[in-house]
Structure 1
Amino acid sequence: MPHQSSTHGDTNIAAAATERTWWKDLLIYFVFFLSGAAALVYEISWTRQIGLLFGHTVHASTIVLASYFVGMSIGYLLGAKWSGRISPLKGYAIAEVVVAAWAFVVPLILQWSESSTIAPWFSNSSFALQTATRAVFSFLLLLPATIALGVTLPMIADYFTEDGRSQMSNARNSSRVTLAYALNTAGALIGVLSATFFMLVVVGVCTSSYVAAGLSVLCALAALFLEPKVTTPEEREASSESPVQDCRSTVGTGLFSLAFLSGFGILALQVLYTRMFSLVFHNSTYTFGIVVAVFLASLAIGAAITSRLQRRFAANRLIGVTTGLGALATAGSVVVFVLLTDLKYFSSGDSFVQYMAGAILLVSIVVAPAITCLGMMLPQVWVLAAQSGTAAKVVGNLTAMNTVAAALGALVASFVMLVWIGLWQSIVLIASLFLISSLVLLYRNKQTKFATAIAALTVAISVVSWQYQTESEFNRREYNERLIKRWNSAYGWIDVVQNEKSGSFKIRQNLHYRFGKTGGNVREYRQAHIPILLHDSPDDVLFLGLGTGLTAGGAIPHSNVENIVAVELIPEVVDAVRMLSDFNYNVADDSKVDIQIDDARHYLLANERAFDIIISDLFVPWESETGYLYTVEHYEIASQRLKQDGLFCQWLPLYQLGEREFESIANSFASVFPHTTIWWGQLETTSPVVALIGSRSSIEVDPIELAQRLDSLNTNATAPDQSIATPERFWDHYIGDWQLQANAQFNTDEHPRVEFLTPMSNRDGKMIKGKVLKQYFTDVLFNLPMTSATLQGDKLQDSLRRRSAQKLILFGR
């Protein structure tokens, strides 16, 4: 009987192979390519949607990523378990339909979760409890979709090994499965690029996931159409038999360890390399997308190369060589990066397109060699475990281990390595783990000469990389900056530096992003003074962003301000602010100041406390996800947190905005606040700063009362501001009223235009400064009405005089 059953099964294999044609396989390869593209669009869209609930913090994004990966690992395990019980393409199609359907459920659950009764659940004074709550919610929210996404790979592996009972030990089968994996990863690359450079801003964040759902449905229909037909009940029963051992009980610990190391190391490197490039890039969504895209491209290339090499070389000899080369390239990547950049701010080309091309080239040179080699590990581990079960079981179970390790790698790199070990040292540590693994594999296969050579080279380069420079010579020459103290944070390097010529102090992030300086005290204090003086009785003031602490500290000398709350995203910044206590009124430890570590948007969402004034600090508009602090929805939440006569003040760096981005922000602001006025914070052509101040009713100021408050302020302040010393001088900062434009393009959560358009304006030289500011002032700002803010007794001719004076200060005659 066993012999007869085996003969019958062989007949079915032959029949299935006969029915399959090359063009069907080609189409399945293409379908799986599209499936990879859809999967990354889902991930990017859902991460942004959940970020609006949790806040766009490193902790929140890493929790979402880990939840995504853990769910997929469960899907890999289930796909391996179900592989012998259902037709591979039918199982794949069902999985694609499930993830497509869930794409329409996710926004509904998130919308419900953003209610004022649910959102506070995700904030807690206990960081551990808050993290656990968010992790559980993210995991459960994404679970149906991530399981379905994970199921697809074992099913495709099942399809490409004849009828599902052939093993990866067959070179042709292993090559086909690895090629499918490579194409799926290449599809993920296309998903990242299309989402980053087109879909998120043009199609919309949430709508992008719907488009991906449509793509998943098409993939499902194509798979069902291409499914091989089983014609008789006997054949169907025979083809469902799968006399294979359980992979989990037969795969050696060593192979699981290799799968674990591959996932852990590669995702840890993605986190570390992203942080490394943030030292020199402008840190927009585009540059972050480039790093992810190069990673995916390298993984796809590595898998494709493996698909070819598997037919010519034994996996047990090949894996040690590729892992060793990956370790060497990883250790050397630090040296290559510093040599190519000198840690200067990257500014390749004269346009956005040229900048992107230069950035892609730089990332590819630094990252691609290491990740291409390391990306060859997992497919080779599949082959080494080939005798343990069918392709579906081997691929499913080992990839599940790889994916869980990837989630752990991202967490450890973000919150342990970067904070406690350091950037260069963490990269060297990952290289060392791969080197040790490589040496074990090489010596086991008697490849001693190569092992000795690769060990010597990697150790030598690691010693250099471990203690490589962490300061930019350009900063020392150009800015005369001397490092006083550095914190290794989850958000990168947070530094306190001092200008050796002027003696002023600055707080900076990742070498090139400066939060302000003590030499600019008056202007930064003014960012608090103007909105506070426009309010009759400002008892409670909220600052979104702490920076150097100078702006928030500017509220302390106002005697009628009783309570100050400052929300800061980065904990280490608070420690840096304490070092500048002599300049910021000791704002970090003042009795009436409460500092909250949180995302500004999330703080407003999760707290119902009402304020007289909310002041939003200067944020770099092109930084990834900063644009959500300029959306209609953000302003609506802020409006709800104001008292009836409250004011919301949004400071804007015109020199970091193009005309279309400024108008998008102003129109979004004016769509929420019926009265929107614009005020000068800094009258300079090179770095002009303005404020949008919104209110429910027009602002009326008594000049006598204003004069008394100004006198009190100048008495209490350590650095009196002569430009607002009198009511008349104060009112000279008034530019006019912004009125909502017809056919305005709003900046919204669904279409975060500012975040995606500002980097283009920045690199194309279209910022509102210099000649652009002069033209824009003449054409637009000079002609704004001035009715929403009134200084009692003011006359129209005085308003015209002020406009002329502003123009004279800015541009001369």
Structure 2
Amino acid sequence: MPRSFLATLFFASGVAGLIYEILWFRHFGLLFGNVVHATALVLVAFFAGLALGNHWIGRCADRVTSPLRLYGVLELGVAITALPIPVLLEVLESLPVSRVTPGGLTMTATLAVLAVLPAATFMGGTLPVLGRAVVRMSKHDVAESGGRLYAINTFGAACGALATGCFLPFYIGVWDTYIFAVGINFLVAVVALLYAKQEYIATDEVHVVLNDPKPIEVPIQGGGGSVPLILSLALLSGLFTLCLQVMWTRMFALVFHNSVFSFAIIVVTFLVGLAVGAFIVARLISEVQWVYKHPWQLMVWVLIITAVLISLSPPLFMVLTGLEREPHADVSVWPLLWAASLTTLITVPPIITAGMILPLLWHVYHPQSLIVGSSSNVGARLGGVMAANLLGAIFGALTAGFVVIPLFGLWQGLFLIALAYVVCALVVMLMCERRARVSRGAMTRQFAISQQCTVWIVIAIIVGGNFVVPSSLGALQRLKDGESLLFHKEGSSAAVAVLKRKDGHLKLKVNNTYGLGGTSGEIQERRMGHLPLLLHENPRRIAFIGVATGITMSALNLTPRGEQIERALAVELLPHVVEAAEMFRDYTGDVLSDPRVEVRIGDGRHVLHSSDEHFDVITLDLITPWHANAGSLYSVEFYAEISDRLAEGGLFCQWLPLYQLGSREFKIIARTFQSVFPYVQLWRGSLNPRYPMLGLVGSNHEIDLERDFLAGTTSNGEVYPKDPYLVDLPSLFLLYAGNEEALRPLLQGMPLNSDDRPLVEYLAPLSHLSSHQLLGEVLIQFFDDMLQGPGWTSESHQMPSTAGNLLLAAKWAKRQKDYDKRTDLLDRVRILVPESQYIQRFVIGL
């Protein structure tokens, strides 16, 4: 079989491997919640299986007569064992009882890891087995052949990450994408097994390989090295590389929108850098005699250059971005190109040099003597180093998020990784010097002296920079003029900050870019928690998904309606957000300390799925729709879960940030929502045409709008005088936008958003980046279309709703500086709802 054909097979295998990994991330996120622990669990299972396969199957590869046949069997094993994994994980997800207690969670995690382990183990064995086949065919050095194969497979992995991250689940669905990967492995297996039939194994070589008790030793020109040192370097290389991936992902989260596209960009550039580095070393070993003879000296320079480039990444990032968010454009491809360019410029150079380490270690790793004219020990050499590297990757994935960033912070963590690379260079250099004390030429001595000086200079610079640069870069939060930082913590998942604005208002930010509310919108945020309580006839048990500042939850203790609540469950994904919410206690009435409130840290969907409790009202705060994996909170499966958690007559309110959604995504969400809840209402969070928010209210029972659900909530007849929209019924119904009958004609032909078809997750980032959101005139026209639909049985509802839409149009006209149109619209509003206190008090201010 031509080597190019083998390379094609291994490229395709790499494509399938990354498809599996990314889809396992998604499945584990649904099983355990989209939290950092679920990601870590996938990495542990995946890398542990790869390490086991490299170590065990790599040793077996040196004893088989047909490595190509074994390779085909391994690819077939991947296909067979990977196929049932999604089904097994869904079975585990359908057993909430097993995850209610810590013991049940541990059992579920163990079973999930065991489900992934066999497929990952078969994957891990493919490199050493195919490497032995290629070395025997080409008679090339192990490092050259292994480096080329590793590069080709990693390039394939990059293509798999790009396809899965950017389009495959959107167009064909998650399950079909998974089947596509299984099909790739099956096809590769069939082709390899068919060609293996034609393979001829020389019987005399087989006899030597298997039976010669005293193999002939061949000296290694480049010089071997201590096996423990080589394996330690391989382990540390994997640890540092995964630490860098986690830390750089966190770094770019400060300016990227963290959609599926930006995540794919980071993964792809990282994999491409590793592949290029491995390919460069493979070429150097085959074509440059000095590299072949002096791999350890090259290793020192590679480690030094990697350390320098890593230490430059934080200041370079700050210079290029200034912590400004990625730009928007009329065409969504330009922001993505900007993100790809930024990621490539900052991360690819150091990752290329880091990717050179593994092939160099293959070159110097000789656990046993080679046999003349044989490909013996190839599998052990490739698999042994790779297994150590993958074990290090496990520790790196866990160390970066759970230890380094929480303890040292992002900037200092990157400098510590750079320093660790230089320390490795120093150890290798000292080993080289000890081995070189035997006579050497003058030029070699001069070279060693210059290398030693360079190492010590770089160590001094990085150590000094470790104390100076992180503090000079400041916190992971951009401050505008007049802003000050009151709270800032870096956790395993995100950096959380509380800022004080120039006007004295506070705001909560996550990863520099995401705003989770603030005191300037206090009345509106509290309304988002208050309105669902008003719509229920007698709420007693409620749940809030998303704590944020706590202002939305403060409807529990700062409004008359909240006084009758007996229990409130508050779910927040980020623990540091709950800490930061303490900064807002003067605006929330210290609601989180209310004895009726229970705060749980975790993914909202997972928490509700693991509970058997039922609620009268469940409120889901604003969730960024274009964030990776946020689509699971807009899926038909999630809505069905919510429906099961509602008590008799209960209702669910999901607030949508229309300024982050395009018209198509909103209609997909509404169509999905309506497919689960037979009774739906739409309520505007405010009449702001620039930053509109809309509440989808769903129930399994009809919500009675004919009753005066504002009556009796206060003694003076006003439901909540502090909120201009909640002073009376005509003012409240300015926010009402219609029901399921008025909405249904506008959703014809819209598909459902599901876990298998995460449409919103892929469409919302494009609408946001291209500034095609549902706001302004597009939003006004949508509400006008709603008013023309069926379902308006009462003028007492339709007239205020019409007035609300006219008010929205008037505010937009003011923004467009069309003052004549604004005046005309306001005159029509006064005629429609003259009794509204909101109109009487506040319209003049428009």
Normalised by the length of structure 2, the TM-score is: 0.87
Matches within 5 A, 1:122-161: 122-124=99-101, 132-133=106-107, 135-161=109-135
Residue equivalent to 1:607:
611
Instruction: Report deviation, 1:103.
Output: 2.7
- Corresponding residue number in structure 2 for 1:183: 152
Give the superposition deviation at 1:797. Answer: 5.1
Per-residue deviation at 1:240? 6.4
**Aligned letter for 1:372?**
I
Give 1:254 shift. 0.4
Rate the CA distance shift 1:318–1:564 in 2: closer, same or farther, 3 A. same
What is residue 108 of structure 1 aligned with on the other side?
87
> Could you say which residue in structure 2 is the equivalent of 1:410?
397
Report the Cα distance in structure 2 between the residues aligned to 1:694 and 1:232, rounded to whole angstroms: 69
Whether contact under 8 Å (2:165, 2:264) holds in the other structure is: yes
**Cα shift at 1:533:** 0.4
Please tell me whether the aligned partners of residues 737 and 784 of structure 1 are also in contact (alpha carbons under 8 angstroms): no
* Contact persistence 1:382–1:398 (CA under 8 A): yes
Aligned to 1:329: 309
Give distance in 2, aligned partners of 1:131 and 1:327. Answer: 40
Which residue of structure 2 lines up, in the alignment, with residue 279 of structure 1? 254
Superposition map of 1:712-727 within 5 A: 720-727=722-729
1:207-237 Cα offsets, whole Å, 9 max, x none, are 2111001011111122123326456895695
Aligned-pair CA distance for 1:457: 3.8
Q: Which residue of 2 aligns with 1:310?
A: 285
Separation in 2, partners of 1:796, 1:307: 73
Q: State the partner residue of 2:98.
A: 121
Q: Percent of pairs identical after alignment?
A: 32
For the residues of structure 2 that align with 1:767 and 1:798, how far apart are their CA atoms?
25
Match of 2:787 in 1: 782
Q: How does 1:699-778 map to 2 (within 5 A)?
A: 699-701=703-705, 703-709=707-713, 720-738=722-740, 739-740=743-744, 741-778=747-784
Matched, 1:222 2:186: no
The whole-number CA distance in structure 1 between the counterparts of 2:391 and 2:585 is: 45
Q: Which moved more, 1:486-495 or 1:342-351?
A: 342-351
Partner of 2:442: none
Q: Which of the numbers 215, 223, 236 marks the counterpart of 1:261?
A: 236
CA shift, 1:238, in A, is 2.9
- Tell whether 2:527 aligns with 1:550: no
Q: Is the 8 A contact 1:94 1:220 kept in 2?
A: yes
Match of 2:72 in 1: 93
CA contact (8 A) 2:402 2:492 kept: yes
Please, which runs of 5 or more residues in structure 2 have no aligned partner? 216-223, 370-376, 434-447, 814-821, 826-846
Partner of 2:166: 197
1 CA distance for matches of 2:489 and 2:710? 42
Matched, 1:535 2:536: yes
CA contact (8 A) 1:280 1:341 kept: yes
Q: Aligned match of 1:392 in 369, 379, 382?
A: 379
Q: 1:101 corresponds to which letter in structure 2?
A: I
The structure-2 alpha-carbon separation of the partners of 1:131 and 1:400, relative to structure 1 and needing over 3 Å to count, comes to farther
Distance of aligned partners of 1:533 and 1:232 in 2 relative to their CA distance in 1, 3 Å threshold: closer
What is the distance in 2 between the residues matched to 1:489 and 1:25? 47
Structure 2 distance, partners of 1:210, 1:491, is 31
Could you tell me whether the CA contact under 8 Å between 1:655 and 1:687 is conserved in 2?
A: yes
Structure 2 residue matching 1:483: 3-state secondary structure: strand
> Aligned pair in 2 of structure 1 residues 797, 414: CA closer, same or farther (>3 Å)?
closer
Matched position secondary structure for 1:139 = helix
User: Residues 239, 148 of structure 1: CA spacing in aligned structure 2 closer, same or farther, 3 A cutoff?
Assistant: farther
CA 1:561–1:162 in 2, change beyond 3 Å: closer, same or farther? same
Q: Which aligned pairs between 1:542-621 and structure 2 lie closer than 5 A? A: 542-556=543-557, 557=559, 558-621=562-625
CA contact (8 A) 1:335 1:468 kept: no
State the AA in 2 paired with 1:40. Answer: L
**Residue 360 (structure 2) aligns with:** 380
| 1:9 aligned partner | none
Q: Is this contact kept in 2: 1:264–1:405, CA < 8 A?
A: yes
**Contact 1:343 / 1:471 at 8 angstroms: preserved in 2?**
no
Distance 1:769 1:608 in 2: 39
Specify the alignment match of 2:445 in structure 1. none
Query: In structure 2, which of residues 162, 170, 177 is the aligned counterpart of residue 208 of structure 1?
Result: 177
Letter in 2 for 1:91: L
User: Matched residue of 1:388: which SS?
Assistant: coil
Give 1:635's aligned residue: 639
Q: 1:523 to 1:26 in 2, by over 3 A?
A: same
Alignment of 1:797-812 (within 5 A): 800-801=802-803, 803-805=805-807, 807-808=809-810, 811=813, 812=822
1 CA distance for matches of 2:717 and 2:67? 75
Q: Distance in 2 between matches of 1:256 and 1:712?
A: 78
How far residue 283 of structure 1 moved from its aligned partner, in angstroms, is 1.1
Are the equivalent residues in 2 in contact too, given 1:251–1:388 (CA < 8 A)?
Answer: no
In 1: Cα distance, 2:637 partner to 2:120 partner: 29
Question: In 2, distance between residues paired with 1:100 and 1:393?
Answer: 24
* Equivalence for 2:299: 319
Instruction: Choose from 40, 43, 49 the match for 2:18.
Output: 40
Q: What's 2:33 paired with?
A: 55
1:535 is displaced (CA, Å) by: 0.5
| Distance in 2 of aligned mates of 1:367 and 1:471 | 21
Equivalent position amino acid for 1:283 in 2: N
Judged with a 3 Å threshold, the aligned counterparts in structure 2 of structure 1 residues 434 and 348 are, in CA distance, closer, same or farther, namely: farther
Deviations along 1:147-187, one digit per CA (max 9) or x if unpaired, are: 11111111111111217xx9xxx754431221011100110
Q: State the alpha-carbon separation in 2 of the partners of residues 148 and 154 from structure 1.
A: 11
Q: Provide closer, same or farther for how the CA distance between residues 336 and 348 of structure 1 changes in structure 2, counting only shifts above 3 A.
A: farther
Q: Distance in 2 between matches of 1:197 and 1:226?
A: 34
Per-residue CA distance 1:221-262 (angstroms, 9 max, x = gap): 22123326456895695386276999xx99621011110111
Distance 1:645 1:78, change over 3 A: same
Q: Hey, what does 1:653 align to over in structure 2?
A: 657
Is this contact kept in 2: 1:323–1:373, CA < 8 A? yes
* Kept in 1: contact 2:12–2:156 (CA 8 A): yes
After superposition, give the CA deviation of every residue in 1:756-790 in whole Å (9 maximum; x if it has no partner). Answer: 11110111110112233234334x33334445xx8
1:238 paired residue among 202, 207, 210: 207
Cα drift, residue 571 of structure 1:
0.7
Q: What is the one-letter code of the residue matched to 2:53?
A: G
Contact 1:328 1:454 in 2 (8 A): no
Query: Which secondary structure does the structure 1 equivalent of 2:613 belong to?
Result: coil
- How far apart, in 2, do the equivalents of 1:528 and 1:713 lie? 21
CA contact (8 A) 2:277 2:356 kept: yes
Q: Is the CA contact (8 Å cut-off) linking 1:103 and 1:209 kept in structure 2?
A: no
Distance (Å, rounded) in 2 between the aligned partners of 1:245 and 1:185: 37
- The aligned amino acid for 1:761 is S
| Contact 1:327-1:431 within 8 A present in 2 as well | yes
Q: Give the structure-1-normalised TM-score.
A: 0.90
SS at match of 2:310: helix
- Gap regions ≥5 residues in structure 1: 1-19
Distance in 2 between residues matched to 1:708 and 1:348, nearest whole Å: 48
Aligned equivalents of 2:68 and 2:690: distance in 1?
A: 61
Paired residue secondary structure (1:551)? coil
Local SS of the residue matching 1:652: strand
What CA distance in whole angstroms lies between the structure 1 residues aligned with 2:473 and 2:797?
60
Q: How many residues align?
A: 771
1:426 & 1:134 partners in 2: Cα distance? 33
Distance 1:179 1:713, change over 3 A: farther
